[in-house]
Structure 1
Amino acid sequence: MLAFKVTTVGSSAGFILPKEAMAKLRIQKGDTVYLTEAPGGGYRLTPCNPDFDRQMALAEEIMHDDRDILRALAK
């Protein structure tokens, strides 16, 4: 388990990610991370945009369900 101490960053609050945490998340300086609610009432820090994942799942479903229509439109 990794622990982080909240510190002042300008007029806001933040925490510093050690190299070990950045390596596990596969992120680099300047990347965006998302704090999402996890099942069971906790939170999860992730580099994956949950809205993008949801949109891609919907697109894959549409492409699967309407593949004949999409093939006809591609001609």
Structure 2
Amino acid sequence: MHTLKIRKIGNSAGVVLTGEVLDALGVQIGDQLQLVPTERGFEVRPYDPEFADALDKARAIMRKRRKALRELAK
């Protein structure tokens, strides 16, 4: 397990990832990460543009078909 400290970066906040963590995630400086909510909290993942596109499309369908989805959930 790695403990991260939140640091002030300009008007924002950030964490510093060690080289070991970057290697484990398979990312390098300049790559994007996704912070994904899970049942247990949040998960940090490498950014996957195909997954992000699919998620955007799913959200659009859910907004458009909100009533139908609500009825199906009953």
Instruction: Give the TM-score band, short-chain normalised.
Output: 0.5 to 0.7
Q: Tell me how far 1:41 sits from its aligned partner.
A: 3.4
CA distance in 1, matches of 2:34, 2:47: 7
The root-mean-square deviation of aligned C-alpha atoms, in Å, is: 2.0
Corresponding residue for 1:19?
A: 19
Q: Give TM-score, length-normalised by structure 2.
A: 0.64
One-letter code aligned to 1:44: E
Structure 2: tracts of 5 or more residues without a match: 55-74
What does the per-residue CA deviation read over 1:21-52, in whole Å, with 9 as the maximum and x for residues that have no partner? Answer: 000001000000010012x2311000033x72
* Superposition pairs of residues 26-65 of structure 1, within 5 angstroms: 26-38=26-38, 40-49=39-48, 52-53=50-51, 55=54
3-state SS of 1:52 partner: helix
Percent identity between the two aligned chains:
28
The aligned length equals 54
